[in-house]
Structure 1
């Protein structure tokens, strides 16, 4: 493991531990604050596809934000791990049954439509003020974004985290994809072009 990868592993572990210390009640409140800020900041979603995620462990609960975006005309999808290399994004519609997808995740089954997101709400372990992120270490999102780019698609990339997951600096590696913004309970911080 190289120096950058070692440092990332240490930062990941530290920020996930900090996230785990947030009480369930506080996590609900922070998730609702994040949804409020996201609803105000993420504009022009009607007719667009937004990928979110269903929470595992101590992640932000995006369901209130996703419901709000759906009510404004967005199509919602969530990631599904297909194998060790790939995720796809299946449409999440109200009332559709969810299936176990491994790693503690659940998502719509194979009958659900696979969509290409216009806006990606991306879970992460840590982020810095320049829009660099540390994921969970599997590289699924980096590869999914690269595949979308190869097809000429360029979704808006918004990291989803709690404030406590910010670090001073993330060591960037060549395969890393920089975020355009991060949404936390304090609001949306934009790093690149306008979101919406």
Structure 2
């Protein structure tokens, strides 16, 4: 298994997304509105160019903070998250769970994925098949053949795409509205917006990633639940 923790994502211009490329397109989670015609200072909103720059700076800061603790401390942090994820899971009969291969100090869901597989749960990993396109999910199981994908993150080498009923989604940062700050590629937002049936989403991050707001934009899709080592945030909380 490849160790992707310290691999650096490619420069943002190579990732076509509204996060780093103002000319990129993405399917929005709701129809366009005319809020751009209102005075952002009156609304208390930051102009998009400022939001983009702010997110980039926050992303760099939060990733550095996430990697700062020693491995032992990060393992303790992960161990506190796992039972919270378990508690947030719905009944697992017949459920396909999409998870992710960790990088750069993210919570490592692989032990949980192996445990779920032993319990008979079908699992899948995301695969980027094209830039600025929704991801697909291919089946994963212990021993499945993996090949390097985008950013050298391992992905299943074969298998027909499956439709997850539940997604475990990594967070760089998050806010009380359950909006997610990711890596700026827009892949999860684009994928969720394109799915005919929206899966349940559990965003997984750390308390150090908590922000007052990520300044959500029309393409941002909130998570159903966010889990950290210290709490579980769901709708109405």
Same fold, TM-score > 0.5, yes or no: yes
The one of 213, 231, 234 equivalent to 1:169 is 213
CA contact (8 A) 1:4 1:173 kept: no
Query: For residue 36 of structure 1, what is the aligned residue in structure 2?
Result: 83
- Give the corresponding residue for 2:136: 88
CA offsets per residue over residues 13-64 of structure 1, 9 Å max, x none?
A: 2211111112211112211221122112213122101111111121110112
Answer yes or no: is 1:154 the counterpart of 2:201. Answer: no
Alignment of 1:1-196 (within 5 A): 2-86=49-133, 87-109=135-157, 111-148=158-195, 151=196, 153-191=197-235
Structure showing greater radius of gyration is 2
In structure 1, distance between residues paired with 2:150 and 2:180? 23
Q: Which range is displaced more, 98-107 or 32-41?
A: 32-41
Between Structure 1 and Structure 2, which shows a larger proportion of strand residues? 1
Task: Determine the C-alpha separation between the residues in 2 that align with 1:192 and 1:75.
Answer: 30
SS in 1 for 2:193: helix
1:188, distance to aligned residue in structure 2 (A) = 2.4
Moved more, 66-75 or 167-176: 66-75
* Shift in alpha-carbon separation, 1:116–1:65, aligned structure 2, 3 A: same
Distance in structure 1 (CA, Å) of the matches to 2:87 and 2:118: 13
| Post-superposition offset of 1:104 | 2.9
Query: Runs of 5+ in structure 1 lacking a partner?
Result: none
**How many pairs does the alignment contain?**
189
Displacement of 1:191 in angstroms is 2.5
**Superposition misfits of 4+ residues, deviation over 6 angstroms:** none
Partners of 2:94 and 2:218 in 1: CA distance: 33
Over the aligned positions, Cα root-mean-square deviation in angstroms equals: 1.7
In 1, the alpha carbon distance for the partners of 2:81 and 2:210 equals: 15
**TM-score scaled by structure 1?**
0.89
Cα distance in 2 for partners of 1:57, 1:98 equals: 19
Retained in 1: the 8 A contact 2:172–2:183? Answer: yes
CA contact (8 A) 2:146 2:156 kept: yes
